[in-house]
Amino acid sequence: MTAREHLKIRAVRAEQGGAGVFAFFLQGSDITRIADISRIRREEQELRGFQRGVIREHVKQITAFLDSGPVLFPNAIILAMAPEIEFASARGRTPGSICEVGDAGTLTIPIYPEGRRAAWIVDGQQRSLALAEARDRSIAVPVIGFVSADLAIQREQFILVNKAKPLPTRLINELLPEVTVLLPRDLAARQLPSALCEALNTDPSSPFYGLIRRESDRKDKVGIVTDSALIETMRMSLKTPAGALGQFKHNGRGNDTEAMYEALLLYWSAVRDTFPDAWGKPPIESRLMHSAGIRAMGALMDPIMLRTDGVSDRVAAVRTTLKRLAPYCAWTGGSWKGLGIDWNDIQSTSQHISKLSDHLMHLERDLARGAA
């Protein structure tokens, strides 16, 4: 008879709510050897499992991060473990004045075939799959395991772990420029725009100097423009080589961030000077400073800046274009002709942002044709 294979690891045991809770480290490749993923499904109308399906793109992004080189990856995996696991306390003298919270020892987990394993992943299934696919299969991963074969308790813990409020987008945006490791694609796309946003907010020569609202602001400092609106505007411009900023993006050869920043200063300074009565006011008084206005004028930046590229006096050309457009804008009063929307009814919804952006771009193009 073949002896049952076991995984023995050093662990610390504590008690919570009458259940044994263990803290230990595993090599990344060992997690899927000892733990199953309990997929949510229905069998004969009865709900089984609790985990969502695999998000392959997410797993791919995590794997790319793990394969980028020596990485810090302290994110704990949470496991539910069957009562058949065994724990033996370590013998020896206890150090004086030690904080007696947990009991150190050896945890023994039997290894069974897939579908009958002695543990289930409660939190971290995408990370576990990525760790199993990473080139370095020996990455030490922190694990928290609690003993329970009760599916109801496993589901309860799954919901509690995953219902936590996600980090605010604006907090992540502000932190991104300080991060130097390889980031998942969605975060990497926001890193450069966030750095440019910070420069616009802190540069005395910037039209946005001191006007941008960031997560780290003191409560007595109230910015006018949300950083998320500006960051999204820049992110969209960077997505395509035809963008006012994207033309300075050179994949594999670095980015000309200085040229990007100069383009932003040129365009937004012209916007400020074209609409002096609307600039710098709270969004309730000026929809130009509202996120919808910033997004719409940001969308207009690409065609205006590209059309004036190569002109001898580019600053004058951009200002002439915006001046031609100004009489048709309703930032602080009246209504938007052609949209049938009062100035203060413009909201930060995808529908209003799209409508206002399209309206301004079509209007500017028609005015440019008439002036030609």
pLDDT of res. 357 = 96
Q: Which two tokens stand for residue 245?
A: 């900023």
- If one compares 214 and 152, the residue with the highest pLDDT of the two is 214
Residues 227-246 have a mean pLDDT of 92
The pLDDT-based confidence of 197 (bands split at 50, 70, 90) is very high
pLDDT of res. 50 = 43
* CA proximity to 103, closest of 1, 15, 231: 15
Residues 318-369 have pLDDT tens digits of 999 999 999 999 999 999 998 999 999 999 999 999 999 999 999 999 998 8
Domain ranges of the chain: 6-162, 169-371
pLDDT of res. 253 = 62
- If one compares 163 and 249, the residue with the highest pLDDT of the two is 249
| % of the chain with per-residue pLDDT over 90 | 45
Is the pLDDT score of 201 beyond 50?
Answer: yes
Average pLDDT, the chain: 85
pLDDT of res. 260 = 93
Is the pLDDT score of 176 beyond 80?
Answer: no
Q: Angle, nearest 10°, between helix axes 227-238 and 291-307?
A: 30
Residues 112-132 have pLDDT tens digits of 888 888 888 888 888 888 898
| % of the chain with per-residue pLDDT over 70 | 83
Residues 278-302 have pLDDT tens digits of 999 999 999 999 999 999 999 999 9
Q: Which two tokens stand for residue 79?
A: 């496991």
Residues 30-87 have pLDDT tens digits of 998 898 876 555 555 555 554 455 567 778 888 888 888 888 888 899 888 888 899 9
Do 117 and 35 meet the contact criterion of CB atoms below 8 Å apart?
Answer: yes
